[in-house]
Amino acid sequence: MWSKAKAIKFSRGETSSSHRNRQRVASLVEDEAEPVEEAGDCGESCGEGLGTAATGGEVGETEVPPGMLFDLDLLDCPVCCHALTNPIFQCDNGHIACSCCCIILRNKCHSCTLPIGVYRNRMMERVVEAVMVPCPNAKHGCTEKFSYGKELVHVKQCSFALCYCPAPGCNYAGLCNDLYRHYYANNCRPRECYRSGSNVAAWMRISDKIFVLQEYKGPLVVIQCFEEEQGVYVTVNCIAPCAPGVSEFSFQISYSSYFGEKTMSFGLREMNRIQKVSFETPEKDFMFVPHYFMAGRPDLKLKICIHKRGE
């Protein structure tokens, strides 16, 4: 069996949808810790921020002893460069391609143009199935393992994904509950309290760009505004991993002009969850307040009501 005869230990960088950006490193050395910078204004050190999470290099070491280099790119389809999944086909010259690529190539080998798409490479299929890959968040405590390529599906919903403090100038990152504690304990700003189901006034200066609401020692909800030529885009996101059952909220936000003569509202049954605030103008899930509504005022008079889903 593969698992007895040979073992692979490796670390990998941040995953992304783009294969070319995925960094895979077969390694004989200790995994590097997540690069988190020193804490900023809020004061807490980042090392503490990772709380009880395991440090890099410890997870899985008993099962997967180091000792062998392996080029994981060999497990990617040479045509589309995505992780190979079964069935895997080969031409008479032994070149391989995934089944999607065989269709796209109209069953002509990309390398030698011989027919491909009938004969399977069973050995390669077994190798792909046998290689187990830990979740990229293993160093933060996730114990899940997957056959090669499948971990990328899981990582989008992994509850051990790092979340980043939304306070401007604070570089803290940690598991979401540690982040919530950090935000409360360090009095990170901005912060306004909210209670599920109650209306909260969120009067924000457009130039501040960010407004943070926190349930008592709990979840962080970030209202952001992005000023563009025609008006201001307003978004509401929760800082949390997209794991089932973690910080699932709905919300309703409303804007009213200074004298209350113009109003608008926007809501989502499922608040988006993000691990880090982005300052790029959103393409979806926003409320757009046109400049002529604001009559030159530098602030937005908002009201928000956040509900825990299922309550």
| Residues binding Zn ion (CB under 5 A) | 42, 77, 79-80, 91, 93, 95, 98, 101, 109, 111-112, 114, 135, 137, 142, 144, 158, 165, 167, 170, 172, 188
Task: Measure the CA–CA gap between 165 and 93, rounded to whole angstroms.
Answer: 54
CB closer to Zn ion, 131 vs 165: 165
CB closer to Zn ion, 71 vs 228: 71
Considering the complex, what minimum distance in angstroms separates the CB of residue 5 from Zn ion? Answer: 27
CB closer to Zn ion, 23 vs 281: 23
Considering the complex, what minimum distance in angstroms separates the CB of residue 254 from Zn ion? Answer: 28
Task: Measure the CA–CA gap between 127 and 147, rounded to whole angstroms.
Answer: 10
Task: Measure the CA–CA gap between 306 and 197, rounded to whole angstroms.
Answer: 6
Considering the complex, what minimum distance in angstroms separates the CB of residue 112 from Zn ion? Answer: 3
Tokens of 112: 């030698």
CB closer to Zn ion, 63 vs 228: 63
CB closer to Zn ion, 277 vs 305: 277
Helix, strand, coil % (nearest 5) of the chain? 20, 30, 55
Considering the complex, what minimum distance in angstroms separates the CB of residue 135 from Zn ion? Answer: 3
Q: Which residues contact 246 (CB under 8 A, 6 or more apart)?
A: 159, 176, 240, 273
Considering the complex, what minimum distance in angstroms separates the CB of residue 173 from Zn ion? Answer: 9
Cβ-count burial 243-273 (b if 16+ within 10 Å, e if not): beebbbbbbbbbbbbeeeeeeeebeeeebeb
